């Protein structure tokens, strides 16, 4: 049985080294015995065994050699806030998984605190499971990690850590096959529509509308037609002025989305705000209204989706396919915003996007354009990708990436890289410079 790239696969899809495979075939049993013998004869040293041992049907016995975990905090130099918090630094978890002289890179945004604590949890709880697994069995690794963390995880930071591991394994898979992630997932190398994200609260509040207009004008100079700004951080009237200024600045062809970051306490207050913003936008209308309520208020989002003309978007904090199932079942979102660094990695993102496609729901992935450009290129229902210019000093993950491997944006699109895997290279000097030390 051959894959599309000519690599042989096990006829029943079983992992010859997995302890939980059901009724392995005789070939796998003999192979497992051979590997066990070699492990014992080498006194437990298994490094390099793939140089001369392989499954009789061609399945690679790839061996992991290291899982490196980094917790970093990249400063935000300009005083910045959203509706619910002030930003002074962005903390990221970066994971490198090494096998056969290749390194898979995975990462997740953790928030403004917590990356160091999560890194310790990864080393203690997750890394041993990864090191004992077949890295080509990406979905199997995800299932084992999720099962192991039922008590310590299921949601929250541990799922973000699982996300970073899953992303690293997919990056490794792309590098082993010398294929970009987009192609690995059934897509192609192409330019993907993107919008300029920003409109955070900065500077003098009395000049808030002017600041929004100036930022959008700069976005347009960079070739972006579509934009997003924050709301929920001022009074409804104050934010409506910012919306009106944004609409005036985007021109007749542009679109403006709004992001409340869970600002409003209930659907009634959110409805008042949305209707005020719709009036401020006039006949131009709004592209979407994002996260008006707590992510736990699924019923409230569904109520808003029924009540307003502007599409309701949510899902950036939702985790696992189970939470997205609830959003779909209750019709709580017109646009879903899965984040592969949050919900469980690439494996879970693809499940969510394919399910959404079945219900004709578009997806607009949150953040991480370097990663999501590949997923969007492989997803027919991907609407757009969120892009932050590094000079805005807001989303600053690319401070950790070598300049040559940073994402290219042009004429309102981001260019899917043709390099293997994610196509990014980590700047290890930057990792050291921004490392969190205790």
For the stretch 155-208, pLDDT in tens is 999 999 999 999 999 999 999 999 999 999 999 999 999 999 999 999 898 999
Question: What domain range is 365 assigned to?
Answer: 183-425
Domain assignment present for residue 210? The answer is: yes
Count other Cβ atoms within 10 Å, centred on residue 253. 7
CA torsion sign, 168 to 169 to 172 to 177?
Answer: negative
Across all residues in the chain, what is the average pLDDT?
Answer: 89
Backbone angles phi, psi at 318, to 5 degrees: -65, 145
Please say which residue of 178, 205, 231 terminates a domain.
178
Are 45 and 128 in a shared domain? no
Instruction: Report how many domains make up the chain.
Output: 3
pLDDT for residue 22 is more than 80: no
pLDDT confidence tier of residue 438, bands split at 50, 70 and 90: low
- DSSP string for residues in 284-319: G--S-EE--S-TT-HHHHHHHHHH-SSPEEE-SS--
CATH code of residue 398: 3.20.20.120
Same-domain status, 255 and 386:
yes
361, 365, 366, 360: which is closest to 376 by C-alpha? 365
Residues 94, 163, single domain; the answer is yes
Q: Which of 293, 230, 298 is nearest to 80 (CA)?
A: 230
Average pLDDT over residues 348-362: 98
Whether residue 260 is contained in a domain is answered as: yes
One domain for residues 153 and 288: no
pLDDT digits (tens, 9 = 90+) for 362-394: 999 999 999 999 999 999 999 999 999 999 999
100 and 53: one domain?
no
Helix %, strand %, coil % of the chain (to 5)? 40, 20, 40
Using DSSP, state whether 30 is helix, strand or coil: helix
Report residue 41's pLDDT band, with 50, 70 and 90 as the boundaries.
very low
The three-state secondary structure class of 272 is: helix
Rounded (10°) CA dihedral 32, 38, 40, 44: -100
Q: Does one domain contain both 329 and 262?
A: yes
Domain co-membership, 247 together with 327: yes
Helix, coil or strand: residue 20:
coil
What is the reported pLDDT for 61?
A: 61
Q: For residue 33, what pLDDT band results from cuts at 50, 70 and 90?
A: very low
What pLDDT, in 10s, does the model give residues 404-416? 999 999 999 999 9
Q: Do 119 and 230 fall within a single domain?
A: no
Question: Shortest CA distance to 363 belongs to which of 342, 336, 389, 390?
Answer: 336
pLDDT score for 60: 52
Clarify whether residues 377 and 321 are in a common domain: yes
Decide: helix, strand or coil at residue 263. Answer: coil
Instruction: Give the tens place of pLDDT for each residue, 204-227.
Output: 989 999 999 999 999 999 999 999
Please report whether residue 85 resides in a domain: yes
* Domain end among 133, 154, 178: 178
Query: Does 43 reside within a domain?
Result: yes
Average pLDDT over residues 33-46: 36
Q: Which residues are CB-contacts of 129 (< 8 A; sequence separation ≥ 6)?
A: 141, 144, 145, 148
Domain membership of residue 430 (yes or no) is no
Residues 395 and 351 occupy one common structural domain: yes
**Residue 273 located in a structural domain:** yes
Does 23 map to a domain? yes
Residues 160 and 20 in one domain: no
In whole angstroms, give the CA distance from residue 321 to residue 335. Answer: 15
SS3 assignment, position 383:
coil
What would the mean pLDDT of 266-275 be, rounded to a whole number? 98
Asked whether residue 437 is assigned to any structural domain, the reply reads no
Q: Check whether residue 210 and residue 344 sit in a common domain.
A: yes
Domain limit, last residue, from 115, 146, 178:
178
CATH number of the domain within which 94 lies: 3.30.390.10
Kindly tell me if the per-residue pLDDT of 20 is higher than 50.
no
Exposure string for 64-81, b = 16+ CB within 10 A, e = fewer: beebebbbbbbebeeebe
Lowest pLDDT segment from 24-33, 124-133, 322-331, 346-355: 24-33
Average pLDDT of span 282-305: 98
């Amino acid at each position: 049985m051959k894959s599309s790239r000519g690599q042989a696969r096990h006829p029943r899809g079983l992992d010859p080294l997995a302890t939980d495979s059901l009724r392995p075939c005789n070939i796998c049993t003999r192979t497992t015995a051979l590997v066990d013998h070699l492990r014992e004869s080498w006194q437990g040293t298994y490094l390099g065994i793939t140089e001369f041992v392989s499954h009789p049907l061609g399945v690679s016995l790839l061996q992991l050699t290291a899982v490196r975990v980094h917790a970093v905090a990249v400063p935000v130099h300009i005083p910045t806030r959203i509706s619910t918090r002030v930003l002074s630094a962005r903390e990221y978890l970066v994971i490198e998984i090494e096998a056969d002289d290749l390194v898979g890179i995975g990462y997740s945004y953790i928030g403004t605190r917590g990356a160091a604590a999560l890194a310790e949890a990864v080393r203690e709880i997750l890394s041993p499971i990864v090191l004992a697994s077949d890295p080509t069995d990406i979905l199997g690794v995800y299932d084992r990690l999720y099962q192991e963390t039922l008590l310590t995880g299921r949601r929250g930071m541990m799922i973000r850590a699982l996300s970073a591991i899953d992303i690293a394994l997919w990056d490794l898979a792309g590098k082993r096959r010398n294929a970009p992630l987009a192609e690995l997932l059934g897509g192609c190398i192409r330019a993907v529509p993107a919008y300029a994200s920003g409109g955070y609260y900065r500077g003098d509040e009395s000049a808030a509308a002017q600041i929004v207009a100036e930022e959008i004008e700069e976005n347009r100079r960079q070739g972006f037609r579509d934009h997003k700004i924050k709301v929920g951080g001022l009074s409804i009237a104050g934010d409506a002025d910012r919306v009106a200024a944004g609409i005036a600045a985007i021109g007749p062809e542009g679109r403006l989305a709004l992001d409340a970051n869970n600002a409003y306490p209930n659907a009634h207050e959110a409805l008042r705000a949305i209707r005020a913003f719709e009036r401020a936008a006039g006949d131009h209308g709004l592209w979407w209204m994002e996260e008006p309520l707590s992510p736990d208020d699924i019923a409230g989002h569904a109520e808003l989706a029924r009540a307003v003309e502007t599409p309701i978007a949510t899902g950036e904090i939702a985790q696992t396919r189970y939470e997205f199932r609830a959003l779909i079942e209750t019709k709580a979102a017109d646009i879903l915003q899965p984040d592969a660094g949050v919900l469980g990695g690439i494996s879970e993102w693809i499940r969510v996007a394919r399910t959404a496609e079945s219900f004709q729901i578009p997806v607009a992935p949150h953040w991480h354009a370097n990663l999501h450009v590949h997923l969007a290129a492989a997803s027919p229902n991907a609407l757009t990708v969120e892009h932050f210019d590094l000079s805005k000093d807001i989303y600053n993950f690319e401070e950790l990436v070598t300049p040559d491997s940073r994402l290219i944006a042009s004429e309102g699109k981001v260019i899917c890289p043709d390099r293997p895997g994610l196509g990014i290279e980590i700047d290890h000097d930057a990792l050291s410079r921004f490392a969190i030390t205790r």
